[in-house]
Amino acid sequence: MWSRNIYDSIKKSLQFQLTVNIVVVLSAFIGACIVRDSPLRGVQMLWIYLIMNILALLALIIEVPTEELLTCEPYRRIQPIISRTMMKKIIGHTIYQLVVMLFILLAGPKIFNIDDGRPVDSIFKPSQHFTMIFNVFVLMTLFNAINCRKIHDEKNIFHGISKNSIFYGIWIITFIVQIVLVQYSSFIFSCVALTFEQWIWCLLFGVSVLLWNQMLNLIPVTRNMPILGASNVYELALRGELDREEQSRPEASLTKDKHFDHQE
């Protein structure tokens, strides 16, 4: 049970980290194409990666094994570590978070009645516009960490969370630090303090990740979804090794000699 729990914890960490990395890279690329600049600053990305590493390594991996693990089927030796369900969640959350960030980037100034923070003449200035993008992404990342606690399409993502005090302790501390960074460290993190109403909007976008995860659970996972991982390469290599062992056996060589003599 402990080995299966460790394996699941590694998968949780991978799902969380891959989602964050893909969103950061694609948002920087799309932002550079649309507004000729990344919506996230370099220092902000450092904070995001710090969150990712702390939550992934300390919070998600340290999970207490539950009795439900005994009812699960054992993992095969050649089974991909990134399952089809995980791939569905990674792709689904990546698309959703990118759509939300692009929505705020393009339509945020009109909807939230704030100044457009897009750089003019390649000069970037801190603004509430880009601060909301940064804040929303961090909150979506935090709430997605709760989603990543369950990797088998479980509906109750909060099941057993009270037993992992390290997880919700780090989660709460990270949330408080995020508030302090946005409101009181504008010079360092290129942020402008947000109003109470803007914080409510940011929280709503963050919580919406939990609802989106429930919608993803309704999408069935089919075997037609291609997955190519290290296990597939290992399986092909294993087959080749078995073939070579079969050919190197004395019985195999005798069979070949008899077949050759029979032809003569």
Tokens of 35: 């507004």
Distance CA 208, CA 157 (A): 14
pLDDT at 202: 96
pLDDT at 255: 46
Distance CA 7, CA 77 (A): 12
Helix axes 165-184, 128-147, angle to 10 degrees: 180
Q: What is the 3-state secondary structure (H, E, C) of the chain?
A: CHHHHHHHHHHHHHHHHHHHHHHHHHHHHHHHHHCCCCCCCHHHHHHHHHHHHHHHHHHHCCCCCCHHHHHCCCCCCCCCCCCHHHHHHHHHHHHHHHHHHHHHHHHHHHHCCCCCCCCECCECCCCHHHHHHHHHHHHHHHHHHHHCCCCCCCCCCCCCHHHCHHHHHHHHHHHHHHHHHHHHCHHHHCCCCCCHHHHHHHHHHHHHHHHHHHHHHCCCCCCCCCCCCHHHHHHHHHHHHHHHHHHHCHHHHHHHHHHHHHHC
Distance CA 10, CA 16 (A): 10
* Closest listed residue to residue 148, CA positions, set 2, 11, 12: 12
Name the stretches of the chain with pLDDT < 50. 228, 230-231, 233-238, 240-242, 244-246, 248-264
pLDDT at 67: 60
Across the chain, which distance is largest between two alpha carbons, in Å? 93
pLDDT for 90-115, tens place per residue? 999 999 999 999 999 999 999 998 88
Q: Give the distance, in angstroms, between the CA of residue 9 and the centroid of all CA atoms in the same chain.
A: 13
Distance CA 13, CA 52 (A): 9
Does the reported pTM lie above 0.85? no
pLDDT at 261: 46
- The residues pairing with 120 across neighbouring beta strands, listed in sequence order, are 123
pLDDT at 111: 92
* Closest listed residue to residue 135, CA positions, set 54, 205, 202: 202
Q: Give the distance, in angstroms, between the CA of residue 176 and the centroid of all CA atoms in the same chain.
A: 22
pLDDT for 117-135, tens place per residue? 776 555 677 889 999 999 9
What CATH number does the domain located at 2-227 have? Answer: 1.20.1110.10
